[in-house]
Structure 1
């Protein structure tokens, strides 16, 4: 009997001990939460901490820049990139449905005029293919978590974003090479001329109704629309390449935190602009202009296309004897 009483006493003592420990722990947790709240308030007020870090940011416990960039990314940059890609596609589909495409008057002549060298065609695709892949993967990295992730599983999302990051990093280098070659080699044919203003006033003659119908403004080797795209690509390609290098090789350039965040914002803004222009360029070359895509496939264009869309250039090569047909 004494043995049973002794065991019961031990059990009661253990029960009281556990209860007291839980009570003390709850008070400790409550006090700890209050302390954490006070610390957080002090940090927000600008209190500095002391660590063993030797970084220039060792006394900055809260990075408020990151918070602002995250809000900018989710509220403005991500929707803007989505709009630049899908919005421009929708606009062009509707425009073509209402307006139709630019037909060649009299149809194809069957005579192909030399326009681009094989090297020019190669560097065009060297820049174009990586550019398209960078747009798609950049869309995933910048806007994917807001527009795609909620609708797919975590496993698929993690694999998708990992693949996008790898492709984005790899395609950055050929894109920059293509951008540099095109910018340097093609700039001489992209200088603005006075007749470009008339081209812009009638939208290049691509409108098939109203006072614009049947207009075929003068254009040299490149028309005003192509020149606008070229210089947008040259300027914002430079920004996106420079900022991309800082983001791709942080250990090499060792940018400050502020510079890295600025590079991230400039990279995203430039990507949005290039994406919008790229959609316009693609539609104009493949759908809107009958016979236009042939130029960047073989380097030759139909004689009717040359005289209708680039009449000043066509007249020039006829006069100076550089006109060459495909045999």
Structure 2
């Protein structure tokens, strides 16, 4: 049992001082199963480390979790970002954008308040920075460092890490405000299914051409994005807090690992949806970007893309034009 503890200590506790190093190294591989069994039973050792977690050996988790970062999460985030960008570029080259069939009316309809516009950018700008810096933190070692070299990559990461940590706070504030204040306009409606069936009316060829499905204040695609952002934004925020403040949350090392996995998986989903959202707002939908710049949209844009909402505000007298 003593030799088993020495093997476990040599494997698990950095800074350990051992007398029989050569012997334990020789037997390490053959006794690995015994080591892990002893670990799970609560065996401990001595280390010179001054870390607040110095009494905790490394995790006794399923070793299949370890390759998740390099084999799944890292390439998954790269694919979510660059893959979705490539898909949209190809789609636009083949399909074109969604133009206003009656052109711009020149009359601007009130859609978002200044407060809502500010909240949107409070969440959007940090979200973009978190995606880019998170990409470096999660996948940079596997995809960027071999190209840049270790020294240059290390210098870049010295800037990336604090930016990622700082941007987490405005992102969480924006996520919380958007979730609480905008949920009322994101309730699914019967006509949302029809929106998906004709791909929102954005297809310019075949049987889908010229189709303009009904949509309220938010169309079905925006609702799907909102609830995805709300759900996975919660996961990414909670896991981020665990990773940012381990000294206060006091997680086990297994919890920290699970937080990294949950954080990375949520980042992949939010990244993919963010690319779709950005392309739809800035490129695919003619006149769409104006909504989150001034808070107003062209009247013909409102009629074409959000006809149910436009008819409602016109009927109840709440339709406001920009003076």
Common fold by TM > 0.5: yes
User: Distance between the aligned counterparts of 1:50 and 1:71, measured in 2?
Assistant: 26
State which of 68, 78, 84 in structure 1 corresponds to 2:80: 84
TM alignment of 1:85-100, pairs within 5 A = 85-100=81-96
Q: CA deviation at 1:256?
A: 1.3
Is residue 155 from structure 1 mapped to residue 144 from structure 2 by the alignment? no
Q: Does the residue aligned with 2:204 lie in a helix, a strand or coil?
A: coil
Cα pair distance change 1:323/1:277, threshold 3 Å: same
User: Distance between the aligned counterparts of 2:53 and 2:62, measured in 1?
Assistant: 16
State which of 36, 40, 45 in structure 2 corresponds to 1:51: 45
Is residue 109 from structure 1 mapped to residue 105 from structure 2 by the alignment? yes
Q: CA deviation at 1:57?
A: 8.5
TM alignment of 1:132-147, pairs within 5 A = 132-147=128-143
Cα pair distance change 1:285/1:56, threshold 3 Å: closer
Aligned residue pair count: 296
Q: RMSD of aligned C-alpha atoms? A: 2.0
State which of 242, 249, 252 in structure 1 corresponds to 2:248: 252
Q: CA deviation at 1:42?
A: 2.4
CA displacement, residues 62-86 of structure 1 (integer Å, 9 cap, x when unaligned): 5354954441100111000000000
Cα pair distance change 1:52/1:36, threshold 3 Å: closer
Q: Does the residue aligned with 2:320 lie in a helix, a strand or coil?
A: coil
CA displacement, residues 290-316 of structure 1 (integer Å, 9 cap, x when unaligned): 000000000000000000000000000
Q: So what's the TM-score if we normalise by structure 1?
A: 0.86
Q: Does the residue aligned with 1:45 lie in a helix, a strand or coil?
A: helix
Q: Is the 8 A contact 2:100 2:300 kept in 1?
A: yes
Cα pair distance change 1:176/1:66, threshold 3 Å: farther
For structure 1, which segment, 127-136 or 63-72, has the greater mean C-alpha deviation from structure 2 after superposition?
63-72
User: Distance between the aligned counterparts of 2:95 and 2:297, measured in 1?
Assistant: 24
**Unaligned ranges ≥5, structure 2:** 1-19
Q: So what's the TM-score if we normalise by structure 2?
A: 0.87
User: Distance between the aligned counterparts of 1:66 and 1:240, measured in 2?
Assistant: 23
> What is aligned with 1:9?
none
Is residue 280 from structure 1 mapped to residue 292 from structure 2 by the alignment? no
Cα pair distance change 1:66/1:176, threshold 3 Å: farther
Q: Does the residue aligned with 2:109 lie in a helix, a strand or coil?
A: strand
Q: Does the residue aligned with 1:113 lie in a helix, a strand or coil?
A: strand
Q: Does the residue aligned with 2:31 lie in a helix, a strand or coil?
A: helix
CA displacement, residues 138-168 of structure 1 (integer Å, 9 cap, x when unaligned): 0000000000000112221111112111100
User: Distance between the aligned counterparts of 1:55 and 1:244, measured in 2?
Assistant: 20
Cα pair distance change 1:50/1:279, threshold 3 Å: closer
CA displacement, residues 68-115 of structure 1 (integer Å, 9 cap, x when unaligned): 444110011100000000000000000000000000012100000000
Cα pair distance change 1:50/1:125, threshold 3 Å: closer
Is residue 41 from structure 1 mapped to residue 22 from structure 2 by the alignment? no
Q: Is the 8 A contact 2:59 2:254 kept in 1?
A: no
TM alignment of 1:269-308, pairs within 5 A = 269-308=265-304
TM alignment of 1:1-327, pairs within 5 A = 33=22, 35-46=24-35, 47=38, 50-52=44-46, 58=55, 60=57, 63-65=59-61, 68-327=64-323
**Unaligned ranges ≥5, structure 1:** 1-30
Q: Is the 8 A contact 1:66 1:261 kept in 2?
A: no
Q: Compare the two structures and name the one with the higher helix fraction.
A: 1
Q: Is the 8 A contact 2:100 2:301 kept in 1?
A: yes
Cα pair distance change 1:154/1:237, threshold 3 Å: same
Q: CA deviation at 1:51?
A: 2.3
